Amino acid sequence: MDRDKTEPDPSHHRNGIVGLLYGEFIDIINGKVRCSVSLADHALTVQKITSSPGQGKVVFDLNDCVGCRAFKGEDNADTGAYFSAYFYPFKRKWLSFGMARQRLEQCFRVALAQDPRANLEEAERWARAIRDASFRPLPRTDGVEYSELRRPCRIMVLLNPNSGRGQALSLFSTHIQRMLTEADAVPTLVITEHQNHAREIVREADLSQWDALVILSGDGLLFEVVNGLMEREDWEEAIQTPLGILPGGSGNALAASINRYSGAPALLGEELLVSCGFLLCKGLVSPLDLVSVHMASGQRFFSFLSLAWGFVADVDIESERYRQVGAARFLLGTLVRLASLRVYQGRLAFLPAHEEGTVEDRVEGVAASSFTRSSSTNSSFHSTSPPDSLSSSFCSAMSCGPVADPSPTHSTLCPEDSAPDDHTLNTLHNASNNAMKLLQAGSQTTSLVKGPPDSLLPPLDEPVPTHWTQVTEQGFILVLAMYQSFLSEDLLAAPEARSGDGCIHLYYVLEGVSRAALLRLFLAMERGTHMACECPQLVYRQVRALRLEPLSPQGAITVDGEQVEYGSIQAQIHGGLGKLISG
């Protein structure tokens, strides 16, 4: 009894239309009833044979399927064979309104013939066809070039046992291990023993042994992996190794971003982990932008997430002490820091990603900001605005006094100090030369990182090119450059960002903002609606390169959430230099 109406093996039609498979099997998990099972392009349809037509029919979306395998019965007397398909569809959470991916297994018994081998072959044919249909990506509309991980897929999972609340290992065994096996991915667990261990491991690893490097930790461990790869002689090839991230830390911004790019609803904690595990199993690989960062000491490194100065960097560092509360540490840190808000003096310049109009636009004050919607707001700019109406309880709790300025250098500054000159143009023409100089300077210090030349950046001790935009104001609350959408698991700082858009999404908040307005911005950031607050001190620009020169003697800069040396810093984006397993 062969009910197939199909072509021999749909796997020959990967890029064409998958042929339909049809069969009648026993559904082992749901009541051991006889079912008709049909496989179409993106759906597996199971219909109880006993029920009246239209009833007892369940349709499984193969986009939710991570794998399918065939096997013999455990009992030798059993001539039947089996195939199990593993789905992780979004389902409503118990006792809640939210949605999360939840595991669902479908197992069928095949008993078409007396011969157990023939049954196993048939089960294998189904398993292959289901796998094949499950890993055929839908046509993309976003124009991004995707590739797929091969199967079976050899994955090095680097796990930091101390990340987050110290539960990464149990998170792996509870949520990830089985899912990877179902998806025919073979994980090799590498548990890091100390800081920079992951960096050393990937610097020395034989990368031909691995199809992907995945980290289960916070963003900090991926920062090590990226830079370890960029320290290799073969960096150009090494950085093409697909990278994956599973959230196990307290700062899981890239994981939250990947979840967003896949079109899934915003998730936290273990639900985010399951969603990222699912995306890893699906194995779609897309370009990853990396930002080359240069420090005054000559150090160079690569960043995949963010560069922050002022408020955001302070929160990042200070909230380390609340890491026991997990991802909520950033919210807690934000409230604490709002209570003692600081203004930082410095200079900011950037190269816009898109052509910007006139020369006047290139010297940018808050009045020239494209997000200043009302000219009347400018008048209040230099005064510390009084707290506005928001949440008076929050405000009084944070004693809304004047904002502290830690900089004694404030009055000695002159904006003309940073004005570009003719010499800058030469600098631009010699950009690649300069990048080489910079690299040589870097090699005299501890920097081992290699990588492409930064053709947009002049040396840090020379002025920026004249076609860069210079911000004339010098009092900043924060400067935040983002190249992924989330700043932490629950802060959607750059809703427009995509992992391979070739763009740095630059935000800065100038002095003059009230605490209440700043709090409102951060509360709005949970949904990514902070630009809609129309805060006149908040500016958003899409840029390719930037330079930041802090003038306040004390402060902090973080890159990907890790503290780096404080001082002048500049950066340029390299679109699609790496590869990311995303959705």
Catalytic residue among 219, 314, 316, 560: 219
Q: Which is nearer to ligand ADP, 162 or 297 (CB)?
A: 162
Among 192, 299, 303, 306, binds ligand ADP (CB under 6 A): 192
Residue 213 Cβ vs Mg ion, minimum distance, rounded to whole Å? 18
Active site residue 219: yes
Among 10, 23, 218, 583, binds Mg ion (CB under 5 A): 218
Sign, CA dihedral 169-171-177-178, equals positive
Q: Which is nearer to ligand ADP, 221 or 353 (CB)?
A: 221
Helices (H) and strands (E) in the chain, counts: 15, 26
Report if residue 164 touches Mg ion, rule: CB under 5 A: no
Binders of Mg ion among residues 81 to 120 (CB under 5 A) are none
Closest by Cα among 359, 378, 301, 327 to 491: 327
Report if residue 475 touches Mg ion, rule: CB under 5 A: no
Residue 223 Cβ vs ligand ADP, minimum distance, rounded to whole Å? 7
Binding at 164: pick from Mg ion, ligand ADP, none (beta carbon under 5-8 Å per type): ligand ADP
Among 67, 80, 164, 220, binds Mg ion (CB under 5 A): 220
Give a three-class secondary structure readout of 359-385: HHHHEECHHHCCCCCCHHHHHHCCCCC
Q: Which is nearer to ligand ADP, 120 or 171 (CB)?
A: 171
Report if residue 195 touches ligand ADP, rule: CB under 6 A: yes
Alpha-carbon span 428 to 574, nearest angstrom: 18
Q: What is the dihedral of CA 425, 426, 428, 434, to 10 degrees?
A: -150
Among 81, 127, 157, 221, binds ligand ADP (CB under 6 A): 221
Report if residue 23 touches Mg ion, rule: CB under 5 A: no
Per DSSP, the residues of 281-317 read: HHTEEEEEEEEEEEETTS-EEEESSEEEEEHHHHHHH
Mapped onto helix, strand or coil, the DSSP state of residue 63 is helix
Report if residue 561 touches Mg ion, rule: CB under 5 A: yes
The CB-nearest residue to Mg ion is 220
Residue 168 Cβ vs ligand ADP, minimum distance, rounded to whole Å? 9
Q: Which is nearer to ligand ADP, 30 or 324 (CB)?
A: 324
Closest by Cα among 193, 536, 210, 486 to 379: 536
Report if residue 247 touches Mg ion, rule: CB under 5 A: no
Residues 242-261 vs ligand ADP: string with x where CB under 6 A? -------xxx----------
Tokens 């003697």 locate to 553
Residue 473 Cβ vs Mg ion, minimum distance, rounded to whole Å? 31
Alpha-carbon span 565 to 304, nearest angstrom: 18
Which of these segments, 212-220, 254-262, 435-443, 537-545, binds ligand ADP (CB under 6 A)?
Answer: 212-220
Closest by Cα among 51, 44, 53, 49 to 21: 44
Q: Which is nearer to ligand ADP, 134 or 217 (CB)?
A: 217
Alpha-carbon span 24 to 154, nearest angstrom: 35
Binding at 306: pick from Mg ion, ligand ADP, none (beta carbon under 5-8 Å per type): none
Q: Which is nearer to ligand ADP, 220 or 352 (CB)?
A: 220
Residue 248 Cβ vs Mg ion, minimum distance, rounded to whole Å? 11
Which of these segments, 192-200, 352-360, 480-488, 497-505, binds ligand ADP (CB under 6 A)?
Answer: 192-200
Report if residue 333 touches Mg ion, rule: CB under 5 A: no
Per DSSP, the residues of 525-567 read: HTTT-GGGG--TTEEEEEEEEEEEEE-SSS--EEETTEEE-SS
Residue 317 contacts by C-beta under 8 Å, 6 or more apart in sequence? 556, 558, 563
Report if residue 324 touches ligand ADP, rule: CB under 6 A: no
Total Cβ atoms within 10 A of residue 266: 17
Closest by Cα among 416, 421, 450 to 436: 450
Which of these segments, 220-228, 231-239, 476-484, 525-533, binds ligand ADP (CB under 6 A)?
Answer: 220-228
Q: Which is nearer to Mg ion, 101 or 323 (CB)?
A: 323
Which of these segments, 49-57, 215-223, 338-346, 517-525, binds Mg ion (CB under 5 A)?
Answer: 215-223
Among 10, 67, 80, 218, binds ligand ADP (CB under 6 A): 218
Number of residues this chain uses to bind ligand ADP (CB under 6 A): 20
Number of residues this chain uses to bind Mg ion (CB under 5 A): 4
Binders of ligand ADP among residues 104 to 163 (CB under 6 A) are 160-163
Buried b vs exposed e over 363-390: b needs ≥16 C-beta within 10 Å?
Answer: ebbbebbebbeeeebeeebeebbebeeb
Report if residue 321 touches ligand ADP, rule: CB under 6 A: no
Token output for 342:
């600081």
Q: Which is nearer to Mg ion, 242 or 561 (CB)?
A: 561
Alpha-carbon span 314 to 312, nearest angstrom: 5
Binding at 314: pick from ligand ADP, Mg ion, none (beta carbon under 5-8 Å per type): none
Binding at 38: pick from Mg ion, ligand ADP, none (beta carbon under 5-8 Å per type): none
The CB-nearest residue to ligand ADP is 218
Tokens 């410095």 locate to 346
Residue 300 Cβ vs ligand ADP, minimum distance, rounded to whole Å? 18
Report if residue 277 touches Mg ion, rule: CB under 5 A: no
Closest by Cα among 259, 241, 84, 253 to 178: 84
Closest by Cα among 466, 455, 479 to 292: 455
Q: Omega before 152 cis (within 30°)?
A: yes
Tokens 């002049």 locate to 458
Helix 219-230 with 197-204: angle, nearest 10 deg: 30
Residue 320 Cβ vs Mg ion, minimum distance, rounded to whole Å? 8
What is the DSSP code (8-state) at residue 463? Answer: P
What is the DSSP code (8-state) at residue 456? Answer: T
Mapped onto helix, strand or coil, the DSSP state of residue 212 is strand
Residue 251 contacts by C-beta under 8 Å, 6 or more apart in sequence? 218, 219, 220, 316, 327, 330, 488, 489, 561
Among 10, 19, 23, 164, binds ligand ADP (CB under 6 A): 164
The site for Mg ion (CB under 5 A) is made up of 218, 220, 251, 561
What residues are labeled active site? Answer: 219
The site for ligand ADP (CB under 6 A) is made up of 160-164, 192-195, 197, 217-221, 224, 249-251, 562
